Amino acid sequence: MSVGIGRERQFEVYVGGARGVHPTVPVSFERLERAARKAMTPEGFAYVAGGAGTEETMRGNRAAFDRWRIVPRVLHDVSTRDTAVEVLGTSMPSPFVLCPIGVLEMAHREADVAVARAAAAEGIPFVFSNQASRPMEETARAMGDAPRWFQLYWSTSNDLVASLVSRAESCGCSGIVLTLDTTMLGWRIRDLDLAYLPFLRGKGIAQYTSDPVFVEALQETLRQEAPPGGRITLAAIGTLLSQAGSYPGSRLANVRSGLARAAVRRFVETYSRPSLSWDDLAFLRERTRLPILLKGVLHSADASAAVEHGMDGLVVSNHGGRQVDGAIATLDALPAIVDAVGGRIPVVLDSGIRSGADVFRALALGASAVGLGRPYVWGLAAGGEAGVREVIRNLRADFDLTMGLSGVARVRDIGRDNVTPA
Ligand SMILES: Cc1cc2nc3c(=O)[nH]c(=O)nc-3n(C[C@H](O)[C@H](O)[C@H](O)COP(=O)(O)O)c2cc1C
């Protein structure tokens, strides 16, 4: 009989320790973040760690979890526990997915591929980012049959949107997560102070440079490409080389052809469509039979509208506090949204998930599953694929033990009754 992932992981760590082997990455979130910081450039760390404005939303996400307390029950048989859930046909051994996170090359050179391998090894779905560092085909190949979804940003080109969605289908993605909270980048002070945006260095645009529609359109940009203006500085040369190094093919050929620089320019012109509105969803609905989840929903009226527009799921998210400073915490937004959808579609929550107790509280307030964000990026930076795998295993273990010790044997038995306002 299996003792469950919680006890298994504890034994793994303690028995390892008795033999002098320590985990690859720290278990504590704070120490993990510190280890990641040491492994990253200041710009890379700032990009991942930072939020919008004064970062009040980031702090608020955490504070909201503090306002709910688990009320454990005793004398329930919890010798075997079932932590698995299914969301929109995708099975998960523990109730969480890995959030879509762009520009993972800033954390580790193996970027999305390392995360994909770790996720696949644990059976945890990985949501491929539209701003990934590796083309989705390459990431999908690293996963075998393991579950994956694709996160879409709606660009100014509907042809590109359709192309990305059809590639995601071919890559075996079983869901499309349409992110709606980033029609423009939030006011991110850490990045502004460093005057650093990875995309301008050619980072995080691999889904575009591997896309036939985008590459075709690039020829037009190339024809219009103006010669570089201004003084030639060392920094400008560095940027050019970085762009050329990120574009497929040889760096030298990319500098000569001007393709890499044109790709960045084209990306800037194409990225995001602030005019997007509810009527546009029909275009996407017609192009895919995959379930569509809207990510970034925080208002109950938008949740109801999503159901009316035939959407299949929601991700209650404030993008980890990176978009609107002073925004509602996701855990605070959750109950009204769950009420509004009334069980018609599943609700996933992210932003601030750091522990098994956080997962448990989100589920108690009505989430079907949650999304894990920054912690796995820190695992990637500090320990590559093995680091991500440990972060996933630790959260799976922590959740399993939290659930069992709260007197609940199955995820579906977690309910509002298991928590109380602090
Ligand atoms: C560095 C970074 C990059 C991100 N890139 C994307 C992205 O490309 N697409 C997207 O939908 N969300 C993106 N997000 C938001 C995450 O999917 C998720 O909502 C957020 O990380 C949750 O907050 P947490 O990490 O604080 O838990 C990004 C978040 C971070 C930290």
Distance of CA 345 from the midpoint of ligand 1 (Å): 22
Pocket (CB within 6 angstroms of ligand 1): 47-48, 99-102, 129-131, 151, 179, 295, 317, 319-320, 322, 350-353, 371, 373-374
- Partners of 127 in the beta sheet? 149
Residue 106 CB burial class (10 angstroms; 0-12, 13-18, ≥19): buried
**Buried/exposed code over 193-219 (b: 16+ C-beta within 10 A; e: otherwise):** eeebbbbbbbbbbbbbbbbebbeebbe
Residue minimizing CA distance to atom 8 of ligand 1: 102
Distance of CA 235 from the midpoint of ligand 1 (Å): 28
Interacting residues of 346 by C-beta distance below 8 A, sequence separation 6+:
87, 88, 313, 314, 368, 369
* pLDDT given at position 229: 63
Residue 274 CB burial class (10 angstroms; 0-12, 13-18, ≥19): exposed
Model confidence over 310-346: pLDDT tens digits?
Answer: 999 999 999 999 999 999 999 999 999 999 999 999 9
Distance of CA 1 from the midpoint of ligand 1 (Å): 38
Distance of CA 100 from the midpoint of ligand 1 (Å): 6
Model confidence over 12-28: pLDDT tens digits?
Answer: 999 999 999 999 999 99
* pLDDT given at position 226: 64
Q: How far apart are CA 211 and CA 135, in angstroms?
A: 9
Ligand 1 site-directed mutation target among 319, 359, 374, most atoms within 8 Å of CB:
319
* pLDDT given at position 234: 86
Query: Of 186, 180, 182, 184, which is closest to residue 306 (Cα–Cα)?
Result: 180
Residue 45 CB burial class (10 angstroms; 0-12, 13-18, ≥19): buried
- Partners of 370 in the beta sheet? 96, 349
HEC string for 208-248? HHCCHHHHHHHHHHHHHCCCCCCCCCHHHHHHHHHHHHHCC
pTM across the whole model: 0.97
Those residues of the chain that have pLDDT short of 50 are none
Count CB neighbours of 300 within 10 A. 16
Q: How far apart are CA 64 and CA 2, in angstroms?
A: 34
Which secondary structure element, helix H or strand E, spans residue 307, and what is its range? helix 300-308
Going by the DSSP 8-state scheme, the letter that residue 416 receives in this structure is G
By three-state DSSP, how is residue 108 classified? coil
Residue minimizing CA distance to atom 10 of ligand 1: 100
Residues in the chain: 422
* pLDDT given at position 206: 98
Count CB neighbours of 48 within 10 A. 25
Residue 157 CB burial class (10 angstroms; 0-12, 13-18, ≥19): middle
